[in-house]
């Protein structure tokens, strides 16, 4: 069944800074109708703007109540196999972390996250027939990079992956087993310290990162009917502390800061866009893929999750713009519809893996030995118990033995008596013997029980029993400690505590439902009906005038709204443009770096031709990165030695490749030799041997041409050459200047005849070799 995202707003008290500035309170709340109103400090004439939410919590509200009213049902859901998400949204310093993490003292202000931990383990402890496996993970998104706050290296960037069944997940994110509230708290504390918000970094950074603590809960209810399938479900609870929603200050990004090119918090903007797309009802495309955060929380927005959002506000007039923007954001979010569903029979559950492992280990233990009467329970529970049936059988056996012995004793006594000539044994004699046997058997039974009890204690706790493989035993015990459930199922006090909590929540929910009902009734109050109720013309007129006035005020307020929204859009657009500019700058930086580096790439490497590589690159939508061709070296095939330089000598026993016309080859060579005599010998000598050289020469030649052209205007080339070197009598410059190549480069290869430059025949050769 579809349900909307539950949105509540919480307004913190004024802080000392706001008090110091003599700020005015502009936010008001009426919990009896779940309403928030905010008045514009710059325009006292417009009526305050009003919003209605699923919950409103004013200055002195306590987190305990927020939990009971809104978070409790969500956490219960995750313990039934639903996914749940709690977001905290709002301007920095307005109480997101105060609400999510909270403070230990006073206890009413313990945060939603530790409360969720306690709730979860209260439920598992009193569960009668369900076992749970709970894991926690904690990540941070900062500058669109995901980091594991509980991993071995909290600096390592992690990738998002998509699995056809499991959906989007973070690759290599560590999941830590937790078996009680304290262990959860320890994880939270450890991760909190690892945030890039840590003490060493400025608070500004802390306000730019998002953190997600996720609790994974797997549960199994073993089937009561033999052979039937066990019921396995998997719930998940995301506890999200978002980055500050305020627009980041316009700090000039230079040097180091340039790396943080995105002034816009991409994930936060994307979240807003996803919400807008979801609620406008027209968008077919929901832009989840635009950021890491929206991809990770895709299910929580318009998906299968029960979602709740806490919008945190400041009451002060100097935060009016931000507060109004938060209220608008929250107002939009409350229209998102989700379709929560239980994750039944999920694939790849750790619990299933554990269950199989436990079963195997138990079998190993049982076949390994231990008294037959001590068994481990079926299913996942490890508790060893005394098998009463086996004991009964043992007792029967003992009884049989006892009876047989008594009979035997009687017979023996009779025989003895007969042998000694006495009469049948007296009752006293018989009784004395029987008492002896009974005592012996009682002793045996007592010993048997004692032994069983001793074994039982050993198996469940302390020492490893004899005949049992210690490795198997320890493994089983380790696995077993991670599986929780039913520890206090028989503890009346614990069960009562839970029952009371449930009742309290129910009671509060009823109150909330009544308040929402009142608020709806107020909304739907039809003024026209009021007007019609008057039969007197004058009264009707008065009522209509009042109504018209009210409508006018409403219109004015909506016009103001429109202007505000337009202004917000304009600011946002500026931010986007600024971000684009910054990104463009860093793109140019990369391009320039590439231009510098590219010529140094070996020419036989496929990456030497960047344009070709660009064409081959394919964008991978799922991985969100480019797939590039592998780095490869292209081997140039050289012609076989000697080919084209005369017939092979007999000594090498060279056989020409079939199809070579030796006669033609010879003509070709002799033609080339003749041409060589005419042409530039030195040019041939310095003929570039590879593309790189060719390129350099080509460039140098072009430069030379330019120099020559420039010189043409004010200097007689003939005069120039007489100064430096005599021009070639034929007019064609051989480029072989006295002084040699190395020194002559700068001046020796211009031609006296502009436009016909052929130093070392380079141009032609370059063209050939390119």
Nearer to Mg ion, 244 or 302 (CB): 244
Shortest distance, CB of residue 13 to Mg ion, whole angstroms? 17
Q: How far is the CB of 613 from ligand ADP (least distance, A)?
A: 45
Nearer Cβ to ligand ADP (18/394): 18
Instruction: Please name which of 438, 321, 226 lies closest in space to residue 26, comparing C-alpha atoms.
Output: 321
Cα torsion angle, 604, 608, 612, 616, sign: positive
Cα–Cα–Cα angle for 230, 235, 240, nearest 5°? 170
Residues 728-767 that bind Mg ion (CB under 5 A): none
Q: What 3-state DSSP class applies to 441? A: helix
Contacts of ligand ADP in 14-43 (CB under 6 A): 15
- Shorter beta-carbon distance to Mg ion: residue 195 or 306: 195
Contacting range for Mg ion; rule: CB under 5 A; set: 94-102, 516-524, 529-537, 655-663: 94-102
The DSSP code for 601 is S
Name the one range near Mg ion by CB under 5 A: 96-104, 179-187, 371-379, 607-615.
96-104
Contact (CB, 8 A) for 261 and 585: yes
Q: Specify the residue, 91 or 269, whose C-beta has the smaller distance to Mg ion.
A: 91
Find tokens 């009917």 and name the residue. 225
Smallest distance from the beta carbon of 110 to ligand ADP, in angstroms? 13
Stretch that binds Mg ion, among 90-98, 279-287, 648-656, 692-700 (CB under 5 A): 90-98
218 or 322: CB nearest ligand ADP? 322
Residue whose Cβ sits closest to ligand ADP: 95
DSSP assignments along 385-438, one per residue = EE-HHHHHHHHHHHHHHHHHHHHHHHHHHHHHHHHTT--SPPHHHHHHHHHHHH
Nearest residue (CB) to ligand ADP, 28 versus 98: 98
State the minimum distance, in angstroms, from the CB of residue 505 to ligand ADP: 21
Do 85 and 98 form a contact (C-beta atoms < 8 A)? Answer: no
Task: Kindly state the number of chain residues that form the binding site for ligand ADP, as judged by CB under 6 A.
Answer: 14
Q: How far apart are CA 418 and CA 414, in angstroms?
A: 6
187, with CB counted inside 10 A (0-12, 13-18, 19+), is buried
Question: x/- binding map, residues 290-329, to ligand ADP, per CB under 6 A?
Answer: ----------------------x-----------------
The residue (of 96 and 131) whose beta carbon lies closer to Mg ion is 96
Nearest CB to Mg ion, comparing residues 100 and 697: 100
x/- binding map, residues 185-214, to ligand ADP, per CB under 6 A?
Answer: ----------------------x-------
The full DSSP string for 535-578 is: -SHHHHHHHHHHHHHHHHHHHHHHHHHHHHHHHHHHHHHHHHHH
- Please report how close the Cβ of residue 56 comes to ligand ADP at its closest, in angstroms: 13
Among Mg ion, ligand ADP, none, the one that 136 touches (CB under a kind-dependent 5 to 8 A) is none
| Contact partner at residue 312 from Mg ion, ligand ADP, none, CB < 5 to 8 Å by partner kind | ligand ADP
Angstrom distances, CA of residue 539 to CA of 333, 359, 530, 532, 551? 42, 83, 11, 10, 18
Closest approach, Cβ 355 to Mg ion, in A, equals: 40
Q: How far is the CB of 103 from Mg ion (least distance, A)?
A: 13
Which stretch, 10-18, 291-299, 370-378, 651-659, contacts ligand ADP (CB under 6 A)? 10-18
Total chain residues near Mg ion (CB under 5 A): 2
Give the span between the Cα atoms of 202 and 213, in whole angstroms.
22
Decide whether 27 or 178 has the Cβ nearer to ligand ADP.
27
Contact 269, 244 (CB under 8 A): no
Would you state the structure tokens that stand for residue 718, as one six-digit string? 């003939």
Between residues 96 and 582, which has the closer beta carbon with respect to Mg ion?
96
- Distance in angstroms (rounded) separating the CA atoms of residues 305 and 337: 10
Helix ranges (DSSP H) in 598-679: 610-616, 662-678
| Closest C-alpha among 10, 36, 9, 41 to residue 25 | 41
> In this complex, which beta carbon is closest to ligand ADP, that of residue 92 or of residue 338?
92
Stretch that binds Mg ion, among 91-99, 284-292, 323-331, 676-684 (CB under 5 A): 91-99
Report the site for ligand ADP in 45-104 (rule: CB under 6 A): 90, 92-98
Do residues 405 and 437 lie in contact, with contact meaning Cβ atoms separated by under 8 Å?
Answer: yes
In 3-state terms, what secondary structure has residue 689?
coil
Least spacing, CB of residue 94 vs ligand ADP, in Å: 5
CA distance 323 to 329: 10
Distance CA 759, CA 756 (A): 9
Contact 459, 370 (CB under 8 A): yes
Q: Which entry of ligand ADP, Mg ion, none binds 292, CB below 5 to 8 A by partner kind?
A: none
Q: Cα dihedral angle (601, 602, 603, 604), rounded to 10 degrees?
A: -130
According to CB under 6 A, which residues from 216 to 255 bind ligand ADP?
A: 244
Cα first-last separation, the chain? 69
Q: Considering the rule CB under 6 A, would residue 12 count as an interface residue with ligand ADP? A: yes
- Give the residue with the Cβ less far from Mg ion, 197 or 300: 197
Of 24, 9, 557, 624, nearest in space to 289 by CA: 624
Out of 4, 13, 46, 144, name the contact with ligand ADP by CB under 6 A: 13
CA dist 3 → 515, 586, 688 (Å): 19, 44, 75
Three-state secondary structure of 122-163: HHHHHCCCCEEEEEEEEEEEECCEEEECCCCCCCCEECEEEE
Q: Name which of Mg ion, ligand ADP, none residue 93 binds, using a CB cut-off of 5 to 8 Å depending on partner kind.
A: ligand ADP
Please say which residue, 189 or 357, places its beta carbon nearer to ligand ADP: 189
95 binds, among ligand ADP, Mg ion, none (CB under 5 to 8 A by kind): ligand ADP
Q: Specify the length of the chain in residues.
A: 770
Quick one: what does residue 331 bind among Mg ion, ligand ADP, none, with the CB cut-off 5 to 8 Å set by partner type? none
CB 610 to Mg ion: min, Å: 44
Residues whose CB is less than 8 angstroms from the CB of residue 392 and which lie 6 or more positions away in sequence, other chains included: none
- Cα Rg of the chain (Å, integer): 44
DSSP class of 642 = T
Judge contact between 489 and 127, C-beta under 8 A: yes
Rounded least distance, CB 353 to Mg ion, Å: 37
Taking CB positions, which residue lies at the least distance from Mg ion?
Answer: 97
**Cβ-based nearer residue to ligand ADP, 10 or 328:** 10
The least CB distance from residue 188 to Mg ion, in Å, is: 14
Evaluate whether 316 touches 291 at the Cβ level (below 8 Å).
Answer: no
Separation CA 582–CA 353 (nearest Å): 49
Q: How far is the CB of 195 from Mg ion (least distance, A)?
A: 9
* In the complex, minimum distance from the CB of residue 571 to Mg ion, in angstroms, rounded to a whole number: 23
Closer Cβ to ligand ADP, 38 or 351, answer by number: 38
Give me the least distance between CB of 91 and Mg ion, in Å please.
Answer: 11
Residue with tokens 């929206």: 294
Q: How far is the CB of 8 from ligand ADP (least distance, A)?
A: 13
Q: Return left, alpha or beta for 205; rule: phi > 0 is left, psi -120 to 50 is alpha, else beta.
A: alpha
Tokens 């590589």 appear where?
Answer: 613
Nearer to ligand ADP, 112 or 752 (CB): 112
CB of 377 to Mg ion, least distance (A): 46
If contact means CB under 5 to 8 A according to the sort of partner, which of ligand ADP, Mg ion, none does residue 441 touch? none
The contacts of residue 591 (CB under 8 Å, 6+ apart) are none
Looking at the Cβ atoms of 9 and 543, the one nearer to ligand ADP is 9
Tell the smallest beta-carbon distance from residue 63 to Mg ion (Å): 14
With CB under 5 A as the contact rule, the residue among 40, 91, 97, 267 that binds Mg ion is 97
Contact positions vs ligand ADP (CB under 6 A): 12-13, 15, 90, 92-98, 207, 244, 312
Contact positions vs Mg ion (CB under 5 A): 96-97
């Amino acid at each position: 069944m579809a349900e909307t995202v539950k949105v509540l707003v919480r307004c913190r008290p004024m802080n000392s800074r706001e008090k110091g500035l003599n700020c005015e309170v502009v936010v008001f709340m009426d919990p009896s109708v779940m309403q928030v109103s905010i008045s514009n400090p710059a325009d006292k004439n417009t009526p305050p703007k009003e919003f209605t939410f699923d919950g409103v919590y004013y200055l002195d509200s306590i987190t305990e109540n927020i939990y009971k009213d809104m978070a409790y049902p969500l956490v219960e859901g995750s313990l039934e196999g639903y996914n749940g998400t709690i977001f905290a949204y709002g301007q920095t310093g307005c109480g997101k972390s105060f609400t999510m993490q909270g403070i230990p003292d006073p206890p009413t202000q313990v945060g939603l996250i530790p409360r969720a931990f306690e709730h979860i383990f209260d439920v598992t402890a009193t569960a009668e027939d369900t076992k749970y496996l709970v894991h926690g993970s904690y990540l941070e998104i900062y500058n669109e990079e995901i980091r594991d706050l509980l991993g071995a290296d909290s600096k390592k960037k992690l990738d998002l992956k998509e699995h056809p069944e499991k959906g989007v997940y973070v690759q290599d994110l560590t999941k830590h087993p937790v078996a009680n509230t304290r262990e959860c708290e320890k994880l939270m504390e450890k991760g909190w310290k690892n945030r890039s918000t840590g003490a060493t970094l400025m608070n500004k950074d802390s306000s730019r990162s998002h953190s997600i603590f996720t609790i994974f809960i797997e549960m199994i209810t073993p089937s009561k009917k033999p052979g039937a399938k066990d019921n396995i479900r998997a719930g998940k609870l995301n506890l999200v502390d978002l980055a500050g929603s305020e627009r980041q200050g316009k700090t000039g990004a230079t040097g180091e800061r340039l790396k943080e090119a995105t002034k816009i918090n991409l994930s936060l903007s994307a979240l807003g866009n996803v919400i807008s797309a979801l609620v406008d009802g027209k968008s077919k495309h929901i832009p989840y893929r635009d950021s890491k955060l929206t991809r990770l929380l895709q299910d929580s927005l318009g998906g299968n999750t029960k979602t709740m959002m806490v919008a945190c506000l400041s009451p002060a007039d100097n935060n009016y713009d931000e507060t109004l923007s938060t209220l608008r954001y929250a107002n939009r979010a409350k229209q998102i519809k989700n379709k929560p569903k239980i994750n039944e029979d999920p694939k790849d559950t750790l619990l299933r893996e554990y269950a199989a492992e436990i079963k195997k280990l138990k079998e190993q233990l049982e076949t390994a030995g231990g008294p037959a009467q001590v068994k481990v329970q079926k299913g996942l529970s490890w508790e060893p118990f005394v098998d009463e049936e086996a004991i009964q059988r043992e007792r029967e056996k003992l009884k049989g033995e006892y009876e047989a012995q008594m009979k035997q004793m009687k017979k023996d006594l009779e025989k003895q008596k007969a042998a000694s000539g006495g009469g049948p044994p007296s009752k006293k004699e018989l009784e004395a013997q029987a008492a002896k046997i009974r005592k012996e058997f009682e002793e045996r039974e007592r010993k048997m029980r004692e032994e069983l009890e001793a074994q039982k204690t050993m198996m469940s706790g302390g020492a490893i029993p004899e005949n049992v493989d210690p490795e198997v035993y320890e493994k089983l015990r380790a696995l077993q400690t991670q599986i929780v459930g039913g520890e206090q199922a028989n503890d009346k006090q614990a069960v009562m505590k839970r029952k009371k909590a449930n009742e309290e929540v129910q009671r509060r929910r009823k109150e909330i439902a009544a308040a929402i009902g009142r608020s709806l009734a107020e909304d739907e109050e039809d003024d026209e009906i009021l007007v019609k109720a008057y039969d007197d013309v004058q009264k009707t007129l008065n009522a209509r005038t009042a109504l018209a006035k009210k409508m006018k005020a409403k219109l004015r307020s909506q016009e103001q709204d429109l202007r505000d929204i337009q202004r917000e859009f304009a600011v946002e657009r500026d931010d986007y443009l600024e971000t684009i500019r910054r990104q463009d700058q860093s793109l140019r930086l990369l391009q320039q770096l590439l231009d510098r580096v590219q010529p140094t790439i070996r020419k036989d490497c496929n990456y030497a031709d960047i344009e070709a590589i660009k064409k081959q690159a394919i964008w991978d939508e799922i991985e969100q990165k480019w797939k590039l061709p592998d780095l490869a070296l292209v081997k140039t095939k050289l012609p076989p030695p000697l080919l084209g330089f005369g017939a092979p000598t007999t000594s090498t026993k060279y056989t020409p490749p079939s199809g070579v016309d030796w006669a033609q080859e010879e003509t070709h060579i002799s033609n080339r030799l003749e041409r060589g005599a005419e042409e530039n010998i030195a040019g041939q000598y310095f003929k570039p041997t590879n593309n790189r050289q060719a390129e350099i020469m080509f460039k140098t030649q072009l430069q030379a041409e330019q120099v020559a052209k420039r010189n043409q205007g004010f200097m007689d080339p003939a005069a120039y050459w007489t100064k430096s070197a005599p021009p070639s009598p034929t007019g064609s410059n051989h480029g072989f200047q006295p002084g040699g190549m190395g020194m002559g480069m700068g001046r020796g290869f211009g031609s006296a005849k502009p436009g016909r430059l052929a130093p070392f025949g380079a141009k032609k050769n370059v063209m050939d070799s390119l």
